[in-house]
Structure 1
Amino acid sequence: MTPSIVPDHARIGRTSLTVSDLDEVVAFYRDVVGLAVQSRTESEATLGAGEMPLLVLTRDEDAPPRTSDQTGLFHNAFLVPSRAALGAALERIRDRWELDGASDHYVSEALYLSDPEGNGVEIYADRSREEWPRTADGRVRIGTIPLDLSTLASRSDGSEEVPPETTTGHVHLEVSSLAAARTFYVDTLGLRLQTELSNALFVAAGDYHHHLGLNTWNGRSTPVGGRGLAWFEVVVADAETLSTVRRRLADDGVSTADRETGFAVVDPDGITIRFTVE
């Protein structure tokens, strides 16, 4: 079997949002989500957990708002390492913001909210892999049932920041065509299809429950642009792997563009994916 272009050890790195009001959005991700501001200029801020950068915010007051038919971000999903940290996130949201929803997905427990410019945010904690339900062919089975918020709140450690082990667990995208997205992300990049729901796919590098969600729930039909998602990263282990990924993409006819720390490709909806190394 030909190995996947994206290796099993790959993970999601930083995501980048174009925003209008940088001060307001930085304050949200710092005070509500619990990320630390790692660097800040007049036009850009990087936030993260510990020494790990997770989110880049770029000010562009002239960028038009995302329209109702544009593809792009459904949500960025920040993975915290414990229920105690997730309970603390729930407390911060209740105290300083508004919770949009909460779900038990069998593999994880998740809180949902939106930032000041309408970008979706998920904060979640995984259950142990041994608890993840699987189908007969070994795929991870993701579902949705109500989350017990009272019990979760009781587990809170009261922290004001996410723990340093927090990562970008996955990115969920709104695409115009599931068929086209499947061709690109599954057939070309070789990400594993883990769960297929009504008008949604969940795919992963290796055996994770999903690194990318892809849905057409809101009938988006035009390319990404303006405010919102600018790019997200796929991180691989080393420079040799990065070169191999780029060569194999070129062999499959996928155009790549140089970046300072790697290269970038564009998906069928104009969403930029940057490939880089740890």
Structure 2
Amino acid sequence: MATHFHKKPNLYTTHVQLKVSDLKRSVEYYTTIIGFRVLKQTEEIAYLTVDGVSSLISLIEVKDAISPQGFTGLYHFALLLPTRTDLGNIVQHFIQHNIRLGAADHDVSEALYLNDPDGNGIEIYIDRPEQQWTWNRDGLVHMTTEQLNFQSILAEADGKWDGLPTDTVMGHIHLSVSDLEKTEEFYTQVLDYEVVCRYGGQALFVSTGNYHHHIGLNTWQSNGRPALPDDAAGLKSYTVVLKDETYADSVKNKLQSAGYLVEQQTEELLYSSNPLFSTVDPNGIRIFFTIEGN
């Protein structure tokens, strides 16, 4: 796993907040099936970890939450495993638990897809070595969707499944958006992402540092749809790491100049991550910004 894509100065996602309808059920799912451990838990929120120090996911209970379908928000969050052996081990684990999976070979990566009990999308993947990625003259990376070779992946498993590896990271986040053009403008002109792949006129992928994507954006199920309401399950927020305070001030100024509300954070909202400020993107999706990270 190439670790530099998820370190400063790249704009990588470090934490995702999810709203769930039944915290006990979701904690059971994310620990037993996905392989997280609980870092901290109250009656309404659980912080999930792989390393015992920081939290990649927090689950927030919303009583009687409605379905997230039909709104903007999360398409999936993506957990990046360190090795192909780790991917083989989690495939074996899913088979043992009779978990229904989607899967794809994207050329740059090999990926599994599933949904949590509230319909929140999850991708679990490994990257192929970056030297094997294909970039064209326009600076776009080749990504495709082909059948995944499960036999080859299972052949590399060693049967040592003991939950998610401690160096698992949040590889990327993929968002369902309402207006692709306006969203592209926000992420590339207000924030400093670059478009690295386009799927027709309905999806694009952006990154920094020549990663295949730190954020995916699509309108497949959300074109013209409203923002996710507070009483729905789904994405509450995600957190992006900025390289330093000077750059954070620059991001804040660009947001304000473009007419986006910037809210200062006066209290710690995310366990082991202290956000400086937040904003809301054109799709009603909240983004926290922090300088705490690698």
User: Which TM-score bucket, shorter chain as reference?
Assistant: over 0.9
Distance 1:276 1:135, change over 3 A: same
Residue aligning to 1:223: 227
Could you tell me how far 1:95 is from its partner in structure 2? 1.9
Equivalence for 2:213: 210
- Give the match for residue 122 of structure 1: 123
Question: In the alignment, which of 239, 262, 270 is matched to residue 284 of structure 2?
Answer: 270
CA separation in 2, counterparts of 1:85 and 1:119? 23
1:1-278 maps to which residues of 2 (within 5 A)?
8-50=9-51, 51-66=53-68, 68-157=69-158, 158-198=160-200, 199-220=202-223, 221-225=225-229, 226-259=232-265, 260=267, 261-278=275-292
Under a length normalisation based on structure 1, what TM-score does the superposition of the two structures give?
0.92
Change (3 A) 1:252 1:218: closer
**Could you tell me how far apart the structure 1 residues matched to 2:64 and 2:118 are?**
14
- SS in structure 1 of the partner of residue 114 of structure 2: strand
Per-residue deviation, residues 25-53 of structure 1 (Å, max 9, x unmatched): 11111122111211111111011221231
- 2 CA distance for matches of 1:172 and 1:207? 17
**1: CA distance between counterparts of 2:222 and 2:60?**
27
1:181 is matched by which residue type in structure 2? Answer: T
- Cα gap change, 1:219 to 1:252, in 2 (>3 Å): closer
What residue number does 2:272 align with? none
Q: Which residue of 2 aligns with 1:4?
A: none
Q: 1:38 to 1:151 in 2, by over 3 A?
A: same
Q: What SS does the aligned partner of 1:156 have? A: coil
The alpha-carbon deviation at position 134 of structure 1 amounts to 0.9
Higher alpha-carbon deviation: 213-222 or 237-246: 237-246
- Could you report, residue by residue, the CA deviation over 1:98-137 in whole angstroms, capped at 9, with x for unpaired residues? 2331111111110000001111000000111101111122
Q: What letter corresponds to residue 186 of structure 1 in structure 2?
A: T
**Residue ranges of structure 2 left out of the alignment (5+ in a row):** 1-7, 268-274
Q: Following TM superposition, by how much is the alpha carbon of 1:276 offset from its aligned partner in structure 2, in angstroms? A: 0.7
Q: Percent identity?
A: 37
- Structure 1: stretches of 5+ with no match in the other structure: 1-6
Q: Tell me the distance in 2 between the aligned counterparts of 1:54 and 1:43.
A: 17
Q: Any runs of at least 4 consecutive aligned residues in structure 1 with deviations exceeding 6 A, and if so which?
A: none
User: Could you tell me how far 1:16 is from its partner in structure 2?
Assistant: 0.5
Residue 53 of structure 1: SS of its match in structure 2? coil
Secondary structure, in 3 states, of the residue corresponding to 2:74?
A: strand
Once residues 271 and 146 of structure 1 are traced to their aligned partners in structure 2, the CA distance between those partners, rounded to angstroms, is: 32
CA contact (8 A) 2:9 2:243 kept: no
Cα separation, partners in 2 of 1:73 and 1:141, compared to 1, 3 Å: same
Deviation string, structure 1 residues 63-95 (Cα, Å, up to 9, x no partner): 3332x3211111010011111111112122222
Which has more strand, going by share of residues? 1
Deviations 1:201-257 (A, max 9, x none): 000122111011111112441112221100001012333332232123223332210
Q: Give distance in 2, aligned partners of 1:29 and 1:109.
A: 21
User: Secondary structure of the equivalent of 2:253?
Assistant: helix
Alpha-carbon contact 2:242-2:291 (below 8 Å) kept: yes
Secondary structure of the residue aligned to 1:143 is coil
Task: Give the whole-Å Cα distance in 2 for the aligned partners of 1:85 and 1:25.
Answer: 23
Distance (whole Å) between structure 1 residues aligned to residue 110 and residue 132 of structure 2:
12
Count of matched residue positions in the alignment of Structure 1 and Structure 2: 271
Tell me the amino acid that sits aligned with residue 244 of structure 1.
S
Distance apart, 1:173 and its partner CA: 0.6
| 2:3 corresponding residue in structure 1 | none
Question: 225-234 vs 24-33, which deviates more?
Answer: 24-33
> Does the CA-based 8 Å contact 1:32-1:97 persist in structure 2?
no
User: Aligned with 1:125: secondary structure?
Assistant: strand
Once the two structures are TM-superposed, the CA of residue 97 in structure 1 deviates from its matched residue by 4.6
